[in-house]
Amino acid sequence: MADRPAFFYDLGSPYAYLGAERVNALFAETSGEPPEWHPILLGGLLKRFGRDSWARGPGREDAMSEIERRASAYGLPPISWPEPFPGHTLVAMRAATYAKEIGRTVSFSLAAFRQAFAAGRDLTELDNVLLAAAAAEMHPRAVLSAVERDLVKRTLREATGRAGDLGVRGVPSVVVGAEVFWGDDSLEEAAAAAAALS
């Protein structure tokens, strides 16, 4: 993970959605190579570091409005919030882990993020995860089998643990060398750091 910049995300995070839509282009403009994408469980990080989601706190409405403003500023479709929000994305994150295993990480993850925050579809619903998988040319039966495999479950847990070991406390985060850049608004700084190292 340390050799190539790493982009850590959870499909349930709208801030990670904003980051996912921009990170590869930003890195292409500066360092020429996009970061490696790593699906992880935000809930695992929150538990490890004794934190709770902003989406369950008093600043929820202000943060949602800020996310909507940022999406507009980035030229993205208007945010359509899934119901419920936040949802339970464990199966979707296992599907993202499987997508990484077969080289479809970015295409599946962008499709899933867009299902959630551009179309307002709940990724707790397996059918919505399978829609994203179809967009990434992943066979539904293969996805259904993969999300139940012990190896996929373990890989996702281990990726989350390694992210925490690197100092990742939330998503989106980009690790460049030994430095962690946390937040959608830190992507430009991360890309500049990667360019300085290349």
Give residue-wise pLDDT tens across range 160-187: 999 999 999 999 999 999 999 999 999 9
* pTM of the predicted structure, to 2 decimals: 0.96
Separation in Å, CA 31 to CA 166, 171, 181: 22, 22, 16
Domain ranges of the chain: 6-197
The pLDDT score that the predictor gives to residue 57 is 85
Give me the amino acid identity at 136: A
Distance of alpha carbon 184 from alpha carbon 163, whole angstroms: 17
Q: Which H helix or E strand runs over 9?
A: strand 6-9
Condensed to tens digits (0 to 9), the pLDDT of residues 36-50 reads 999 999 999 999 998
The percentage of the chain sitting over the pLDDT mark of 90, rounded to a whole number, equals: 91
Please state which of the four CATH numbers 1.10.3230.20, 2.30.30.760, 3.40.50.720, 3.40.30.10 is assigned to the domain occupying 6-197.
Answer: 3.40.30.10
The pLDDT score that the predictor gives to residue 31 is 80
Q: What is the mean pLDDT of the chain?
A: 95
Spans of the chain, pLDDT less than 70: 1-2
Nearest to 95 by CA among 113, 80, 78: 113
The pLDDT score that the predictor gives to residue 56 is 85
The pLDDT score that the predictor gives to residue 1 is 42
